[in-house]
Amino acid sequence: MSERSQETDAFADVCNQLRNHAYKLTPQRQTILKIFLEQGSGHLSAEEIYQLVKPHYPDIGLATIYRTLDILADLGILQKNDFGDGRSRYEFSRRDEHHHHHLICLRCGSVSEFDDDLLESLETMIAKRNKFKVVDHVLKFYGYCSKCQEELKRDV
Amino acid sequence: MSERSQETDAFADVCNQLRNHAYKLTPQRQTILKIFLEQGSGHLSAEEIYQLVKPHYPDIGLATIYRTLDILADLGILQKNDFGDGRSRYEFSRRDEHHHHHLICLRCGSVSEFDDDLLESLETMIAKRNKFKVVDHVLKFYGYCSKCQEELKRDV
DNA sequence: TTGATTGCAAAATATTTGCACGTCA
DNA sequence: TGACGTGCAAATATTTTGCAATCAA
């Protein structure tokens, strides 16, 4: 199966999810979705999505972007992240994907991803010890990416 | 040693840290610090701190609160947290304390804490595998606290 | 047809900044 | 004394909301 048809499948899949929840399938929502599918693994802010959508749909309003992102995040189609730069950042979260987390570079601000499996045992333990029912977790590592480590070595 | 003198020690300690970094020890800064020492383990927002400080120092401005919190967080005296409610929340971080993380209740918004030690091996692995130099990490579990679990059982 | 959705503008919220004045060291 | 710190008000930045018009189902 080609990459293209995988994308198409994901698109159809999300459209169905919207319909199942009685949300209407407006061209604005479709355009926003396509942006995420094209971007692959970006961490986009509302403003960035707005700029990317505008060429395809010039009349769209920023409020629609926010409202759509809210819905898609509620449905679990997008993951809403906070990387500490004062705005929320969204990424497409494929259903079959492992839960992944982020490595955030304190120097250049780049965000990369890593998978976790090891966290699950910790999660179980926490739940028992604190009588807390865990439904989600967020793990972020702050530090320096390899590129910045090189540059710091060179400059200082 | 009494609780009172422990507090006093911590206060003197922070004052020294400020002096060492050539920051002036203004009454505003001292008042803000005392609030944190009195609060113990609260997760306070700038606005909340403002309200708590005002009775002790009525003329203080909100901007001073923000500026002071910035400095104290930079020095590692306070920990700046984001619990997803749209404002930053600060807590006093005692130097000898284990790194701790948060359990955030999705129903009532309460935040409790837990210690981690197990995360360190994961951190080492991540660093090796991704050539990323980790200097800090944040781990948050979202779910339902025991009180809300009870109430959900009863109501639904 | 009709309730959901949209664009726009205004509002709300949190935080930052410019500046004249005050004060800690 | 003099650089640092402060209060105030205004500016920013992000996100939310009210509303009349529009559109998907």
Q: Does residue B102 contact residue B145 with C-beta atoms inside 8 Å? A: no
Q: What percent of chain B has pLDDT over 70?
A: 88
Q: What are chain B's domains?
A: 1-95 (1.10.10.10), 98-156 (3.30.1490.190)
pLDDT bin (cut points 50, 70, 90) of residue A4 is low
Q: Tell which wins on pLDDT, B142 or B54.
A: B54
Please name the amino acid found at residue A63.
A
**Residue with the larger pLDDT of the pair A48 and B107:** A48
Residues with CB under 7 A from strand D: A 19, 24-27, 45-47, 62-63, 66-67, 70, 86-88; B 22-24, 26, 28-29, 57, 59-61, 63-64, 67-68
Band (pLDDT 50/70/90 cuts) for residue A6 is low
Q: Does the pLDDT value for residue B1 go beyond 50?
A: no
Would the pLDDT of B2 be above 60? Answer: no
At A107 the pLDDT is 81
Q: How far apart, in whole angstroms, are the C-alpha atoms of residue A127 and residue B141? A: 10
Of B36, B96, B22, which Cα lies nearest the Cα of B69?
A: B36
DSSP sequence for B36-57: HHHH-S--EEHHHHHHHHTTT-
Cα A82 off chain centre by: 10
Question: Mean pLDDT across the stretch A92-116?
Answer: 79
H or E element at residue B105 = strand B100-105
Residue appearing with tokens 């109501």? B155
* Alpha-carbon gap, residue B108 to B144, rounded angstroms: 8
Q: Which two tokens stand for residue B39?
A: 């609060």
Of the two residues B104 and A34, the one the predictor is more confident about is A34
Q: Say which residue, B119 or A128, is predicted with more confidence.
A: A128
* pLDDT, averaged across chain A: 87
**Nearest-angstrom CA–CA distance, B140 and A139:** 6
3-class SS at B94? Answer: coil
pLDDT at A110: 86
Which tokens go with A99? 């839960």
Question: Looking at residue B30, what is its pLDDT?
Answer: 97
Question: In the structure, what pLDDT confidence band is assigned to residue A1 with cuts at 50, 70 and 90?
Answer: very low
pLDDT of residue A93: 84
More confident call, A37 vs B109: A37
CA distance B134 to A106: 10
- B132 in contact with A, Cβ within 8 Å: yes
User: Do residues A81 and A88 touch, judged by C-beta distance below 8 A?
Assistant: yes
Sequence letter at residue B56: H
Looking at per-residue confidence, does A14 or B152 come out higher?
A: A14
Q: Please give the nucleotide, over all strands, whose C1' is closest to the CA of residue A61.
A: C7
Mean per-residue pLDDT for A125-146? 86
Give how far Cα B115 sits from Cα of B98, B101, B154, Å.
7, 6, 31
Question: What's residue B33's pLDDT?
Answer: 95
- Say whether residue B25 is in contact with chain A using an 8 A CB cutoff: no
Q: How confident is the model at residue B47 (pLDDT cuts 50, 70, 90)?
A: very high
What's this model's pTM, rounded to 2 decimal places? 0.82
Q: What is the amino acid identity at position A40?
A: G
Q: Are B110 and B86 spatial neighbours (Cβ–Cβ below 8 Å)?
A: no
How much is the pLDDT for A96?
Answer: 56
Helix (H, G, I), strand (E, B) or coil at B124: helix
Q: Identify the residue whose Cα has the smallest distance to the C1' of D13.
A: A86
**Model pLDDT, residue B19:** 95
Band of pLDDT at residue B95, cut at 50, 70 and 90: low
Task: With a cut of 70, say whether residue A52 has pLDDT above it.
Answer: yes
Structure tokens at A98: 């492992």
Pairing mode of beta strands A88-92, A78-82: antiparallel
Q: 10 Å Cβ neighbour count for A28?
A: 18
Percent of chain B with pLDDT over 90: 46
